[in-house]
Structure 1
């Protein structure tokens, strides 16, 4: 008779003495103190970590109270952990002379990690145009991949969700921006670093910068020379003409200098309220259309009251 011993599966000692509760507990996320030397920045992290006054204030707060909100990280194949959120907290810990910081370790794929990384930073009050541009680009790409790629990649990718909305529409709802404004921000990622820095520094306005993003990289570098020569930055109308010249193959240094040397006409007075400026005054679930309708209603009420006061 053949032995059936090889069919017997032995239970390990650990399994014999562990309970279902303890096994479930092992699967729960835990906050762990991780050495700062083992925490590495997220690949292509678009948000700047700057040693400014706010950073020094955070470091001082950590010295007094510790890190109140744990960072999130995921294991790296090469060892250590990749930070998903908490880059500024890590830097503040370094300035506070700490060696470890509390971290939640999560097993995340690239797309899920990218979305969490972007969302955790978009909550900040002050975000540079370049940061927002690359953040929107990274998150939209991740959302498209999560939804599944179509035969042809384009901005009309339909997300894998019950509403059947496009990924760009979902991102617009989540950020409070219009879909077109999101794509305009993403256009800024086509600027060479020198021009993009000028946008962050408010030397070039947002709308002209979007038009300039359609220039080829070598044309953008020539534009920098033209701006330096004429000591001027392009207005919206000038940027639109430069874009047209580029499309026609006529965007030479001489043409750029000629445009940049023009005396700019005084632009009419106007007030621009971006989503960034006003959305903090509304509930998070408000759409741009709801915000606009509410503002118009408030202005109409204010105007009516002002008229009545003048008639008294």
Structure 2
């Protein structure tokens, strides 16, 4: 479908704002235009706002169609705090807009935290660090809400634990939520490696049990060995660390060991192979020819052994 065939209206056009400063939504929320300078990020907001390709697309969409989904904010002493819409707010700044449509809700800290997390967890791509801190913030808020309810409620009965309620709401198991929250114990440098997929999730959970000094030793060891830990290596490092039997040098020795996947892999450098093949051969053609030669060698070897 060609871009010029797509026809979208701005949020005010859809809901009858007629370019006024106040409009509404079908469910009764009031939408107001708020100057960008009066809005600021939610305190401790864990979701990253990057000037990447997706941001460029958002800016282009806003420039062409306007802001189709209003931000959700709450008033505070310095203007308004953004609960949902941090990326849209930044895109509006880049696009040169002066205001952004917002739904204003008067929420306490716990309710605001839960709304902020829930609205952002709906995104398709979420980094492990974002999910980890979001789960922690929401669980802490839910626990606090439960504590306040206990102080005012005289009802007797069995209440669901906050993590169980959260698991039901998010569709993520209690155990997996706890494992994500473990990642918040990692030093920022290690957590960034998890986001960049240099350290896998499961090893990262094991490494989160190391204290701050041990994690720094691990960073030094990884830099020296130019390697990151596999799951089994991370488990060994964790066990030794909990027994206070590990040093940066010991971590380096573990990291320098050949991993199972390395033992199962044979690597031939392109420079080594290209002298045996015509220049026109691609790596795939080289691989196919090597397999054929190996098959011929195996057949000859089997014949020789049968004589």
Shorter-chain TM-score category?
0.7 to 0.9
Match of 1:75? 75
Match of 1:216? 211
Task: Provide Cα deviations, 1:281-303, integer angstroms capped at 9, x if missing partner.
Answer: xxxxxxxxxxxxxxxxxxxxxxx
Paired residue secondary structure (1:101):
strand
Contact (CA 8 Å) 1:55, 1:92: kept in 2 or not?
Answer: yes
Paired residue secondary structure (2:261):
coil
Task: Provide Cα deviations, 1:109-162, integer angstroms capped at 9, x if missing partner.
Answer: 0000000000000000000000000000000011111111699xxxxxxxx998
Match of 1:262? 257
Superposition map of 1:13-162 within 5 A: 29-77=29-77, 79-148=78-147
Alignment partners' CA distance in 2, 1:200 and 1:216: 20
Paired residue secondary structure (1:103):
strand
**Cα displacement (A) at 1:178:** 0.9
Alignment partners' CA distance in 2, 1:210 and 1:51: 29
Paired residue secondary structure (2:160):
coil
Task: Provide Cα deviations, 1:203-222, integer angstroms capped at 9, x if missing partner.
Answer: 00000000000001111111
Paired residue secondary structure (1:249):
coil
**Cα displacement (A) at 1:173:** 1.3
Alignment partners' CA distance in 2, 1:33 and 1:149: 35
Task: Provide Cα deviations, 1:253-308, integer angstroms capped at 9, x if missing partner.
Answer: 11111111111113999xxxxxxxxxxxxxxxxxxxxxxxxxxxxxxxxxxxxxxx
Match of 2:178? 183
**Cα displacement (A) at 1:106:** 1.1
Structure 1 moving runs of 4+ over 3 Å: 160-163
TM-score, with structure 2 as normaliser: 0.72
TM-score, with structure 1 as normaliser: 0.71
Task: Provide Cα deviations, 1:181-208, integer angstroms capped at 9, x if missing partner.
Answer: 0000000000000000000000000000
Alignment partners' CA distance in 2, 1:57 and 1:94: 14
> Once superposed, what is the RMSD of the aligned Cα atoms?
2.2
Alignment partners' CA distance in 2, 1:244 and 1:107: 48
**Cα displacement (A) at 1:164:** 2.5
Range moving further from structure 2, 61-70 or 202-211: 61-70
| Unmatched segments (≥5 aa) in structure 2 | 1-27, 265-307
**Cα displacement (A) at 1:176:** 1.4
Q: 1:150 to 1:238 in 2, by over 3 A?
A: farther
Match of 1:166? 161
Range moving further from structure 2, 55-64 or 258-267: 258-267
Task: Provide Cα deviations, 1:64-102, integer angstroms capped at 9, x if missing partner.
Answer: 11111111111112x211111110000110111101001
Task: Provide Cα deviations, 1:51-70, integer angstroms capped at 9, x if missing partner.
Answer: 11111111111111111111
Match of 2:23? none
Q: Are 2:222 and 1:227 aligned? A: yes
Alignment partners' CA distance in 2, 1:41 and 1:178: 29
Contact (CA 8 Å) 1:137, 1:186: kept in 2 or not?
Answer: yes
Match of 1:192? 187
